[in-house]
């Protein structure tokens, strides 16, 4: 049975409410969320469907009924503390900075900031506090609503568009003429699924699109297109020339890696570390990916890229070891 975005939003509110109020009655839940008793029962049944691979009994959220009272039973993976990378924590820090200031009392953002810091991998707290002080938010919106609306209109009306797109692999801004097929939200980022000039399917991250304009041409969407085919765990589709690589992650970061990536591409070692098999579209993408994790990630293969990565690291160390010029 399909679940709508509104139902998911309801569950995201309902689950923490019941977890924070063990023994709450069905009537209290109905009053709290402004719904009927029957709707509460439907949402409670939905909770029983919330789980993660490999979908064993302890991978699901459940609840216990004592008459009219409900107590939540969390899945086994929820008993472990969440671990954030430094980049993830700083991203959340930026979002909190975009929130309006509290009118009275302590800002909720301050409380959330402490929770984010506590969820960091071991030893990253000092760097997080240091980098947080240096953050200056230039623009609170990740992309303009007008641009998003124009993309959505082009999808709905089947209109070809020309987009200026920043490619992180080439570090260049290029123009592409595409036929937009659908928009997809994946873990907080929006993606445009489109058909390229050669008929190939391409995926563009919306916040990397600088501009979009219609070419005046209409098109007929492919009959085999289904947006559900792109609702995958990892929004990454390497090309035919991608290079197979292996990356080893530290024991502290292993739980995050196992949650983020397909387990079929992971191998857990006896010492708690985990090895990820992936395909890199190019050295630039791979090296940026590795630098996110600092000393918690190590490139194992191929040896040609290991050699190039060590050279890149030596260059970075040399650059950041130079005396810094003071800004006046």
Q: Which structural domain range is residue 200 located in?
A: 145-230
Please say if the pLDDT value at position 314 is more than 70. yes
Say if residue 37 is in the same domain as residue 64. Answer: yes
2-60 pLDDT, tens digit per residue, is 455 667 778 888 888 898 899 999 999 999 888 899 999 999 998 888 887 767 777 88
Which one of 22-31, 76-85, 225-234, 313-322 scores highest in mean pLDDT?
A: 22-31
Say if residue 94 is in the same domain as residue 54. Answer: no
- The model's confidence at residue 281, banded by pLDDT at 50, 70 and 90, is confident
161-178 pLDDT, tens digit per residue, is 999 988 766 667 888 899
Given this model, what pLDDT does residue 133 score? 60
- The model's confidence at residue 137, banded by pLDDT at 50, 70 and 90, is very low
The span from the CA of 75 to the CA of 83, in Å, is 17
Collapse the DSSP code of 269 into the 3-class scheme (helix H, G, I; strand E, B; otherwise coil) and give the result. Answer: coil
With respect to residue 139, please indicate whether it lies within any of the assigned structural domains.
no
Given this model, what pLDDT does residue 138 score? 41
**Domain boundary at 134, 156, 171, which?**
134
Closest CA relative to residue 15, chosen from 53, 82, 60, 55:
60
What CATH number should be reported for the domain holding residue 204?
A: 2.30.30.520
- The model's confidence at residue 110, banded by pLDDT at 50, 70 and 90, is low
Say if residue 67 is in the same domain as residue 46. Answer: yes
With respect to residue 14, please indicate whether it lies within any of the assigned structural domains.
yes
The span from the CA of 320 to the CA of 160, in Å, is 45
Beta strands in the chain (DSSP E): 24-25, 62-66, 69-73, 159-167, 172-186, 189-195, 201-205, 209-218, 243-249, 266-268, 274-280, 297-301
Span 186-198, average pLDDT: 81
Record the tokens describing residue 136, joined without a space: 């200056």
With respect to residue 237, please indicate whether it lies within any of the assigned structural domains.
no
- The model's confidence at residue 141, banded by pLDDT at 50, 70 and 90, is very low
Say if residue 225 is in the same domain as residue 170. Answer: yes
What CATH number should be reported for the domain holding residue 20?
A: 1.10.10.10
With respect to residue 328, please indicate whether it lies within any of the assigned structural domains.
no
With respect to residue 181, please indicate whether it lies within any of the assigned structural domains.
yes
The CA-based diameter of the chain, rounded to the nearest angstrom, is: 69
With respect to residue 224, please indicate whether it lies within any of the assigned structural domains.
yes
Say if residue 49 is in the same domain as residue 92. Answer: no
Question: DSSP secondary structure string, 47-109?
Answer: HTT-B-TT--GGGB-EEEEETTEEEEE--GGGGSPP-B-HHHHHHHHHHHHTSPPPSSSS-HH
**Domain boundary at 203, 230, 257, which?**
230
- The model's confidence at residue 157, banded by pLDDT at 50, 70 and 90, is very high
Domain count for the chain: 4
**Domain boundary at 79, 96, 123, which?**
79
Say if residue 24 is in the same domain as residue 72. Answer: yes
Say if residue 160 is in the same domain as residue 215. Answer: yes
Say if residue 217 is in the same domain as residue 149. Answer: yes
Contact yes or no for 255/317 (Cβ under 8 A)? no
With respect to residue 186, please indicate whether it lies within any of the assigned structural domains.
yes
Given this model, what pLDDT does residue 249 score? 94
- The model's confidence at residue 274, banded by pLDDT at 50, 70 and 90, is very high
């Amino acid at each position: 049975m399909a679940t709508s975005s509104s139902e998911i939003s309801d569950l995201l509110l309902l689950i923490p409410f019941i977890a924070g109020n063990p023994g709450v009655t069905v009537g209290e839940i109905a009053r709290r969320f402004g719904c009927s008793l029957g709707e509460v029962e439907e949402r409670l049944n939905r909770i029983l469907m919330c789980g993660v691979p490999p979908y064993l009994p302890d991978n699901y959220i459940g609840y216990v009924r004592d008459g009219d009272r409900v107590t939540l039973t969390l899945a086994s993976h929820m008993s472990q503390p969440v671990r954030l990378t430094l980049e993830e924590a700083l991203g959340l820090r930026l979002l909190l900075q975009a929130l309006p200031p509290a009118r009275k009392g302590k800002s909720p953002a301050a409380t959330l900031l402490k929770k984010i810091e506590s969820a960091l991998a071991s030893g990253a707290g000092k760097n997080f506090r240091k980098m947080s002080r240096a953050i200056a938010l230039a623009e609170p919106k990740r992309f303009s609503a007008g641009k998003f609306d124009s993309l959505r209109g082009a999808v709905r009306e089947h209109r070809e568009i020309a987009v200026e797109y920043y490619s992180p692999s080439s570090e260049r801004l290029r123009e592409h003429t595409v036929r937009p097929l659908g928009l997809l939200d994946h873990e907080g980022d929006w993606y445009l699924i489109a058909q390229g000039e050669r008929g190939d399917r391409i995926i563009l991250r919306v916040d990397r699109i600088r501009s979009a304009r219609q070419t005046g041409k209409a098109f007929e969407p492919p009959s085999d297109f289904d947006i559900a085919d792109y609702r995958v765990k990892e929004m990454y589709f390497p090309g035919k020339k991608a290079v197979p690589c292996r990356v080893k992650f530290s024991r502290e970061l292993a739980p995050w890696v196992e949650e983020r990536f397909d387990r079929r591409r992971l191998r857990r070692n006896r010492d708690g570390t985990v090895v990820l098999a992936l395909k890199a579209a190019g050295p630039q993408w791979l090296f940026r990916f590795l630098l996110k994790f600092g000393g918690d990630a190590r490139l194992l293969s191929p040896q040609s890229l290991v050699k190039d990565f060590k050279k890149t690291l030596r260059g970075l160390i040399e650059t950041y070891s130079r005396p810094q010029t003071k800004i006046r």
